[in-house]
Amino acid sequence: MSNMSNPVRPPSLMRRFLDNESSGGITLMVTAALALIVANSPFAETYFGSLQAKIGPMSLLHWINDLLMALFFLLVGLEIKREFLDGQLSSWPNRILPGIAAAGGVIIPALVFVAFNYGDAEKVHGWAVPSATDIAFALGVLSLLGSRVPTSLKVFLATLAILDDLAAVVIIAIFYTAEISLPHLGAAIVGVLALFALNRAGVMKLWPYLLVGALLWFFVLNSGVHATVAGVVTALFIPLKPSQAKPDDATSPLHILEHALSKPVAFIVVPIFGFANAGISFSGLNMAALTDTLTLGIAAGLFFGKQVGVFGAAWLSIKTGLTQKPMGATWAQLYGVSILCGIGFTMSIFIGLLSFPSELMQTETKLGVLMGSGLSAIIGWMLLRILPSKTMK
């Protein structure tokens, strides 16, 4: 059928998602670089002092990491639900390759990290730090290559990173939960039941879900489970209301909230998180911090572990006939994108902050994340830049 008979359609949700995440990733790179500059400038004392300033019961840094990042996780939850019900992850064939690659990209980096820190129980607690992929940062680097990378690989990377985020949420909920407060946990469970009741009753207005979600955040914050989990849980109950006539119905509560959050999260929330957490003062650092097994384990996990895990799992599943190679992509291009999966900035730093109470260990974590993510970004970009842009026969 001729395209002339079809009206011009607006960009798909996945296309808008890729575009927003790419530009948001570039913004994140700029703010992270700015944080490093400020942390090593005459304004360093003001920078670090402001982050520790008390605002009510918590410091500014805690408000950023516990409240603002709950909005980030709310958007992550919305994206995960939409993709599973109505998007790239709605069918098993689309889930299998990025799902297997994501599993390899979680397991192998963790094993690399543990190999560096075996025997030190305190450091091993951070095994999940190099297992995350920063979707905004990775797609931001990929966007710099334009049409040199097939769209199928961009979708593969976005899908893998979404599944990575889902794994990170589960890991945080299970392995990085502090002492449990049973009364607050009980109240949080009541909040979840209230969200379930709203969903089952067919409530299509957003404000009841957001009101209960805000209460849920408060109770989860005080329960010992990390508060950001409340964002994901709230998202999972917000109705998508798929329809055969309008599978991408922009009037559904989930689409309305997702579209409302996407730009503020990409251009405000995540850059603020990056600026608040990427600042490392190099004045007090020495070679011991740079060569510590914690730093090297995270850097090696992200740079080596990620590419081996993602590409190795993808290669094995394709060669055994379980999955198919992304359309129009060469093996070398798939390998280059696997390297970019080692960019773990936002989620890796976030998990690192949960893993280590020590300021020195948090600094070493950030160093390792910056080293591993930086190497992955540079080497991945260079490889994809020099490769032929079309599949070679």
Q: What is the residue extent of each domain of the chain?
A: 12-176+226-280+289-386
Report long-range pairs for 356-361 (Cβ below 8 Å, ≥24 apart): 356/122, 356/125, 356/126, 360/289, 361/122, 361/123, 361/126, 361/294
Q: Higher model confidence: residue 393 or residue 60?
A: 60
In this model, does residue 106 exceed pLDDT 90? Answer: yes
Place of tokens 């700015």: 34
CA distance 111 to 106: 9
Place of tokens 């079309």: 390
CA distance 20 to 266: 7
11 by Cβ neighbours in 10 Å (0-12 / 13-18 / 19+) ranks as: exposed
Instruction: Note the pLDDT of residue 318.
Output: 94
CA distance 32 to 39: 11
Summary mean pLDDT of the chain: 85
Q: Which residues are bridge partners to 58 per DSSP?
A: 55
In this model, does residue 165 exceed pLDDT 80? Answer: no
The answer to whether the beta carbons of residues 101 and 162 sit under 8 Å apart is no
Q: How confident is the model over 83-101, as pLDDT tens digits?
A: 788 776 677 777 899 999 9
Give residue 198's pLDDT band: very low, low, confident or very high (50, 70, 90). very high
Q: Higher model confidence: residue 315 or residue 27?
A: 315
Instruction: Note the pLDDT of residue 339.
Output: 96
Place of tokens 């790239």: 88
What length does the chain have?
A: 393
CA angle 225, 230, 236 (to 5 degrees): 135
Instruction: Note the pLDDT of residue 16.
Output: 54
Place of tokens 């790179």: 29
Instruction: Note the pLDDT of residue 191.
Output: 96
In this model, does residue 118 exceed pLDDT 50? Answer: yes
5 by Cβ neighbours in 10 Å (0-12 / 13-18 / 19+) ranks as: exposed
Give residue 43's pLDDT band: very low, low, confident or very high (50, 70, 90). very high
Give residue 246's pLDDT band: very low, low, confident or very high (50, 70, 90). low
Q: Which residues are bridge partners to 55 per DSSP?
A: 58
Q: Which residues are bridge partners to 334 per DSSP?
A: none
56 CB-near residues (< 8 Å, 6+ apart)? none
Q: Higher model confidence: residue 389 or residue 234?
A: 234
Place of tokens 């502090």: 178
Token pair, residue 121, equals 């129980």
Q: Higher model confidence: residue 273 or residue 218?
A: 218
Percent of the chain at pLDDT > 70 equals 89
In this model, does residue 263 exceed pLDDT 90? Answer: no
DSSP class of residue 42 equals: T
Q: Higher model confidence: residue 13 or residue 309?
A: 309
Helical residues (DSSP H) of 87-205, grouped into ranges: 92-117, 121-124, 135-143, 151-175, 182-200
118 CB-near residues (< 8 Å, 6+ apart)? 124
Average pLDDT, integer, range 294-312: 97
283 by Cβ neighbours in 10 Å (0-12 / 13-18 / 19+) ranks as: exposed
Give residue 333's pLDDT band: very low, low, confident or very high (50, 70, 90). very high
CA-to-CA dists, residue 121 to 126, 172, 200, 354, 356, angstroms: 9, 18, 45, 15, 11
Average pLDDT, integer, range 276-299: 85
Instruction: Note the pLDDT of residue 122.
Output: 93
In this model, does residue 275 exceed pLDDT 80? Answer: yes
Give residue 1's pLDDT band: very low, low, confident or very high (50, 70, 90). very low
Thinking of the domain 12-176+226-280+289-386, which architecture would CATH place it in?
Up-down Bundle (1.20)
Q: Higher model confidence: residue 302 or residue 288?
A: 302
Average pLDDT, integer, range 93-117: 92
Place of tokens 């992955």: 376
Average pLDDT, integer, range 192-200: 96
Average pLDDT, integer, range 298-327: 94
Give the 3-state secondary structure percentages of the chain, helix then strand then coil, rounded to 5: 75, 0, 25
Give residue 19's pLDDT band: very low, low, confident or very high (50, 70, 90). low
Instruction: Note the pLDDT of residue 167.
Output: 85
Q: How confident is the model over 350-369, as pLDDT tens digits?
A: 889 888 988 889 889 999 99
Q: Higher model confidence: residue 86 or residue 201?
A: 201
Instruction: Note the pLDDT of residue 266.
Output: 82
